[in-house]
Amino acid sequence: MTRTLGVVMNGVTGRMGTNQHLVRSVAAIRAQGGVKLSDGTRVQLDPILIGRNADKVAALARANGVDRWGTDLDAAIADPKNQIFFDAATTQMRPTLLDKAINAGKHIYCEKPISTNLPEALRIVKLAREKGVKNGTVQDKLFLPGLMKLKSLRDSGFFGKMLSVRGEFGYWVFEGDWQEAQRPSWNYRNEDGGGMILDMVCHWRYVLDNLFGEV
């Protein structure tokens, strides 16, 4: 038996939304025929791509074999065929969109962070729990080959008793003169809802919590 889940994918015309979440995740799951669960049920995804630029969204949908696309986010959230809301738009917009989706009874999966401040983030988490919807944020770094190998070594006792950990995390994004920078400006510009702490410490925290212990 195959079960189909409708997924509202908002903000997937950007670099990360397109490459990481659509092409390498949702489109790949669809291409392999869905995901087989332990009870034998197969779950297939039926995404609807939502964005502000109709031409860009339509082209992205065609390129990835997606039939459903549009620019009306409210209509997509209100559609009972869509059970999951995914958001990869800007952090500044996210709390309002998550509120709307949660209150509509949609399960949530979104990019990090869920807000630019702690009180608002806690409010959204509390709302999701009150409404009884499943919810989570991206924790993709846990599944990088190097960190998965590190976890297997830790679980095997290879390191013995670990008393302290030092980590270095980052990658080269280029300055933008001779090589085009490949990091969107809103990731690090405070006025656009970004900043080094908001952008990167989220990754640090879940890596430390899951590989070494609670902070």
In a structure prediction context, what are the per-residue pLDDT tens digits for the chain, which is 215 residues long?
A: 899 999 999 999 987 888 899 999 999 999 999 999 999 999 999 999 999 999 999 999 999 999 999 999 999 999 999 999 999 988 889 999 999 999 999 999 999 999 989 999 999 999 999 999 999 999 999 999 999 999 999 999 999 999 999 888 766 777 778 877 776 666 667 777 677 778 888 888 999 999 998 88
pLDDT of residue 194: 72
Q: Residue 98 is encoded by which pair of tokens?
A: 């998550």
Q: Are 159 and 133 in contact (CB under 8 A)?
A: no
The pLDDT value given to residue 183: 66
Residue-level pLDDT at 177: 81
pLDDT at site 17: 86
Treating both helix axes as pointing N-terminal to C-terminal, what angle do 94-103 and 118-131 enclose, rounded to 10 degrees? 10
| CA–CA gap between residue 44 and residue 26 (Å, rounded) | 9
Query: What is the bridge-based pairing of β-strands 42-50 and 35-36?
Result: antiparallel
How is domain 2-137 classified at the architecture level of CATH?
Answer: 3-Layer(aba) Sandwich (3.40)
So where are the chain's domains?
A: 2-137, 146-211
Beta strands 107-110 and 82-87 are: parallel
β-strand partners of 42: 2, 36
The pLDDT assigned to 187 comes to: 67
User: What's the predicted TM-score (pTM) here?
Assistant: 0.87
Residue 154 zone, left/alpha/beta (φ > 0; ψ -120 to 50; rest): alpha
b/e per residue 11-24 (b: at least 16 CB within 10 A): bbbbebbbebbbee
